[in-house]
Structure 1
Amino acid sequence: MISIIILTKNEEKDLPRCLNSVSWCDDVHVVDSGSNDETLNIALLQGAKISTNTFRSFGQQRNYALDELKVKYEWILFLDADEVVTSKFKTEMIKATESAENDVAGFYCCWKMMLYGKWLKYCDNFPKWQFRLMRKGRARFTDFGHGQKEDKVEGKIEYLREPYLHYGFSKGWFYWIERHNKYSSQEAIARSLKRPPVKQIFSRDASTRNPALKSWLSRMPGWPFVRFFQAYILNFGFTEGAPGFIYCINMAYYEFLIQIKMHEQRNESQPVQLSATASSGVELENP
């Protein structure tokens, strides 16, 4: 079987759906970072084990769970509260873990981005991969942008092709925009200061290639428009109707926020050169 770890903070709206989707598991852990709504009561009522830890970053929170929780099984699935395990994903996950060779440290997983009940397959550039299913003790996480990626992996990572569901807009657009304003600051720092080498753009591994592409393309003039054009026109996002258009517009806006914050960081990192006159208030003669 598989142990499940869910990160939460004020997730009373999404957590019931997430927990219902993993009711088949007898080792569900909720790692909470200070909820003041009904999140913890919901978790208790549905039999989840609860731990609390101050949230610093996604990578740090997942590593805390790996270090502190006494999980029951060899395999661990990490979920967010706005994600749902489908019956097909469960079947493929169990099949993959039961047949995995000993040198497999884990699996990249992908999601179906859902908006207004519609799967945004083209707008969201499906599939996008994250390291979510891992063998206990065989990997860690490190922060990258507003999220995290795998770190210190002992073994190889394979791909689980069947997606789970991701309801990233379940709390409404006001919440999404507020969160992504914060996320854009973290992404700007990561793409500016932790920019991967150019050679990673050509990696066959999507988990390596995509962060590198984002970091380098973010410096291109007009990148937010290019992002919209690629997803909505070239990738046939327009076939997904109004949800697709709304999503692509907001993702372009998100990339715009990242780009202007990267520009601010570059300007702030350059020391201001003051003339002798301006700095001292005394006019000096040329030597």
Structure 2
Amino acid sequence: MISVAILTKNEEQDLPLCLASVKWSNDIHILDSGSTDRTIEIGKARSAKIWYNQFESFGKQRNYALDHIPFRYDWILFLDADEVMTQDFFVAMRQAILSAGPDVAGFYCCWKMIYENKWLKHCDNFPRWQFRLLRRDRARFKDFGHGQKEDKIIGRIEYLREPYLHYGFSKGWSHWINRHNRYSDQEASSRIYNRPPFGHIFSKHSSESIPALKSWLSDVPGWPLLRFVQAYLFNLGFLEGMPGLIYCVNMAYYEFLVQIKMRELRGKKHQKNGQPHQSTVVNPTIF
């Protein structure tokens, strides 16, 4: 069997569907970071075990779960509350685990981005990969941009190619914009202070190549516009109609936020090093 860990904060809207999709598991854990809505009530009503830890980052939160939650099974699936497993994903996951050799530490998983009940297939380089299914005591996480990636792997990682569903826009655009405004702070800092080596751009693993490419391209003037062109034209986002246009515009907007915050951070660093920006003082002239 498989244990399930779900990260939450004020997820009363999305949590019921997420929990319903993992009802096959008898070891479901919710790691909450201070919900003030009905999240905890919903979790308890569905027999999930509730844990609390103040959220710092996705990497630290997932490591807290690995360190403090007494999972019943060796295999652990990490989900966010706006993510939903399909029956096909469950079948593929179970088969992958049953056939996994002892040297397999876990699996990269991919997702379908859902907006207005539509899979946005053509906008964002499907499939994209995250490390979500792992053997206990065989892997850790580390912060990476506004998210996380695998760390301290004992063994090798394989790919689970059947996607789950991600309802990233379920709470509306105001929520999405506020959340990604926070994410862009972390992403800007990461792209300056923890930039991946340039060679990672050529990695065969998209979990390495795509973040590296974005990090280096964010120094290019007009990169947000290029991001839109890449998603909407080259990735055929226009085939998704208005949902595709909205999605691609907002992906470009997110890159714009990251870019201007990188500029801001560099300005602060410049001033901290004793090199304030010069301004020109014009002496008044009497005519």
Paired amino acid for 1:16: P
CA distance in 1 between counterparts of 2:110 and 2:57 reads: 21
Paired amino acid for 2:8: T
Paired amino acid for 1:243: P
Q: 1:273 to 1:235 in 2, by over 3 A?
A: closer
**Matched residue, 1:101:** 101
**Matched residue, 1:230:** 230
Q: Which runs of 4+ in 1 moved over 6 A?
A: none
**Matched residue, 1:253:** 253
Question: 1:173: how far off?
Answer: 0.2
Q: 1:96 to 1:273 in 2, by over 3 A?
A: closer
User: TM-score if structure 2 supplies the norm length?
Assistant: 0.94
Task: Report the 3-state secondary structure (helix = DSSP H, G, I; strand = E; otherwise coil) of the residue aligned with 2:252.
Answer: helix
User: Does structure 1 conserve the Cα–Cα contact (< 8 Å) formed by 2:124 and 2:235?
Assistant: no
Gaps of 5+ in 2: 281-287
**Matched residue, 2:138:** 138
Question: 1:91: how far off?
Answer: 0.3
Question: 1:177: how far off?
Answer: 0.3
User: TM-score if structure 1 supplies the norm length?
Assistant: 0.94
1:146-175 Cα shifts (integer Å, max 9, x gaps) = 111111011111100000000000000000
1:217 and 2:234 matched: no
Task: Report the 3-state secondary structure (helix = DSSP H, G, I; strand = E; otherwise coil) of the residue aligned with 1:209.
Answer: helix
Q: Give identity over the alignment, percent.
A: 64
1:220-251 Cα shifts (integer Å, max 9, x gaps) = 11110111001101111000001000000011
**Matched residue, 1:182:** 182
1:114 and 2:114 matched: yes
Task: Report the 3-state secondary structure (helix = DSSP H, G, I; strand = E; otherwise coil) of the residue aligned with 1:163.
Answer: strand
**Matched residue, 2:284:** none
Question: 1:273: how far off?
Answer: 3.6
Question: 1:124: how far off?
Answer: 2.2
Q: 1:67 to 1:249 in 2, by over 3 A?
A: same
**Matched residue, 2:84:** 84
RMSD: 1.3
Q: 1:51 to 1:221 in 2, by over 3 A?
A: same
Task: Report the 3-state secondary structure (helix = DSSP H, G, I; strand = E; otherwise coil) of the residue aligned with 1:55.
Answer: coil
Task: Report the 3-state secondary structure (helix = DSSP H, G, I; strand = E; otherwise coil) of the residue aligned with 2:108.
Answer: strand
**Matched residue, 1:283:** none
CA distance in 2 between counterparts of 1:46 and 1:124 reads: 34
Q: 1:274 to 1:168 in 2, by over 3 A?
A: closer
Aligned residues: 276
